[in-house]
Amino acid sequence: MRQRPGPGGHINPPVFPLTGGVDGDPPGPRDIIGDEAGKTGLHALRDVDDVSLLSLPELAAYDSTDDMITVISAAQALCRERRILLLADAPGFWADVDSARAGLSAFDPVRDGQTALYFPQVQMIDPLTGRMRSFPPSGAIAGVCARTDAERGVWKAPAGTAARLAGVRSLSVRLTDRENALLNPLGVNCLRTLPAVGSVVWGARTLQGADALDSEWKYVSVRRLTCTSRRACTADCSGWCSNPTASSWPGRRGPPAALRPRRAPGRNPLPGAAGTRSRRVRIGTRPPRRRPPPPPGTWAPPPHPTPRCPCGPVPPAPRRHVTPHAPPGGAGPARRSGPYTFGSAGWRSAPRPRPRIPPARTGRSGRRGPHPR
């Protein structure tokens, strides 16, 4: 038996109504937050490793903005601890740009660089009824982030014409360039419909990315790259935890100086220059390297760069030549090498020799004049 296509040209899936049960109430703020001791609600993620994105689409259906802020604040504490990016949905009662600008002040207590807010909702086909309805966009945004990570990398912002929302038919609010320019500087990531592309993500800012805040965690790509790098470093260094340094660190490339073995294996696995500096590890910082002196027979650039002249180009400075015959320590007679002279006082510029002017030629009669042909 063939099924007839429903509204929108899609075939309605078979729906079997259930009787004798109770649907129950949607989860409230306490249900989502849960208990840390019992590891319920949000705290159940503490037993899950490698979580990078968190989406809470149930919050968009709340009628009270205070309940949304309460849950988002609890989720942000977990996200900061586990280095997770929170994808927040705009309230469902934001029907236009004016209501979004008016209600954005309620998110001031949770303006954090670990959260990104997206507006408006997306229109998709409900798989249960086969009809078009609105959905919070955080689930689709998570899919865009996963696709961007696989194709480009975590450092690429999940926005632009490449961040197309697959499966989205339309948006609940159609935004123009002017309306997008009003919301984006406030830290709201807008979803737009472009003529030749479709529905795309047209913003990659965090809630702390408003222009007035001038925060270093303004963009989602910066926050995600930092969180991913820290998680990768933690996972990479976990294999070296509680291992003797004398047998583990020599095989690694560029180990810190404090962890290099200085004694026999098995004795003082974390040695140091002194007892107070033992078991002290510094990662990510390295003293500046000093350039060694040039070997004999080579040349090095002058010690001071040539200053720029506003009047015009300046001729390049002469090269500094070092000869193998230079006496060590500045002792002995001065030897000339190019435009510099090495003597008792070290290198110094030598005066340039005056050009030799040839004498004027004379003719057979002894008078000065042109040479006879």
**The domain spanning residue 183 has which CATH number?**
3.40.50
For the cut 80, the answer to whether the pLDDT of residue 133 exceeds it is yes
> pLDDT: is 256 or 74 the higher one?
74
Tokens representing 182 are 């009003």
In whole angstroms, give the CA distance from residue 141 to residue 87: 8
For the cut 90, the answer to whether the pLDDT of residue 337 exceeds it is no
The mean pLDDT value of the chain amounts to 75
In whole angstroms, give the CA distance from residue 370 to residue 360: 9
- Residue-wise pLDDT for 172-198, tens only, equals 999 999 999 999 999 999 999 998 889
For the cut 50, the answer to whether the pLDDT of residue 330 exceeds it is no
Contact (Cβ atoms closer than 8 angstroms) between residue 141 and residue 118: yes
Which amino acid is located at 339 in the chain? P
* Residue 43 falls inside a structural domain: yes
For the cut 70, the answer to whether the pLDDT of residue 156 exceeds it is yes
Helix (H) or strand (E) holding 223: helix 220-237
What is the average pLDDT across 320-346? 48
* Residue 245 falls inside a structural domain: no
The full DSSP string for 297-310 is: T-EE--SSPPPP-T
Q: At 5, is the secondary structure helix, strand, or coil? A: strand
> pLDDT: is 217 or 245 the higher one?
217
The domain in which residue 113 lies consists of 29-230
* Residue 126 falls inside a structural domain: yes
Please tell me the predicted confidence (pLDDT) of residue 237.
Answer: 73
> pLDDT: is 49 or 224 the higher one?
224
Please tell me the predicted confidence (pLDDT) of residue 269.
Answer: 41
Tokens representing 171 are 């948006």
Confidence tier at 289 by pLDDT (50, 70, 90): low
* Residue 182 falls inside a structural domain: yes
First to last CA, the chain: 117
Please tell me the predicted confidence (pLDDT) of residue 225.
Answer: 86
Name 125's bridge partners.
132
The closest of 207, 214, 167 to 186, measured between CA atoms, is 207
* Residue 131 falls inside a structural domain: yes
- Measured from the Cβ of residue 213, the count of other Cβ atoms closer than 10 Å reads 15
Confidence tier at 130 by pLDDT (50, 70, 90): confident
> In angstroms, how far is CA 124 from the centroid of its own chain?
32
For the cut 60, the answer to whether the pLDDT of residue 281 exceeds it is no
In whole angstroms, give the CA distance from residue 120 to residue 359: 92
- Measured from the Cβ of residue 168, the count of other Cβ atoms closer than 10 Å reads 19
Confidence tier at 261 by pLDDT (50, 70, 90): very low
Question: What is the count of structural domains for the chain?
Answer: 1
Please tell me the predicted confidence (pLDDT) of residue 233.
Answer: 76
**Is 170 exposed, middle or buried, given 0-12, 13-18 or 19+ CB atoms closer than 10 A?**
middle
Task: Give every CB contact of residue 178 below 8 A, 6+ residues apart in sequence.
Answer: none
Percent of the residues in the chain that have a pLDDT greater than 70, as a whole number: 61
What is the average pLDDT across 120-139? 89
* Residue 119 falls inside a structural domain: yes
* Residue 279 falls inside a structural domain: no
In whole angstroms, give the CA distance from residue 98 to residue 120: 13
Please tell me the predicted confidence (pLDDT) of residue 201.
Answer: 94
Provide the b/e sequence for 115-151 (b: ≥16 CB within 10 Å).
bbbbbbbbebbeeeebeeebbbbbebbbebbeebbee
What is the average pLDDT across 55-69? 91
Please tell me the predicted confidence (pLDDT) of residue 356.
Answer: 66
In whole angstroms, give the CA distance from residue 313 to residue 231: 51
Contact (Cβ atoms closer than 8 angstroms) between residue 180 and residue 97: no
* Residue 45 falls inside a structural domain: yes
- Residue-wise pLDDT for 294-308, tens only, equals 777 666 665 555 555
Confidence tier at 321 by pLDDT (50, 70, 90): very low
For the cut 50, the answer to whether the pLDDT of residue 169 exceeds it is yes
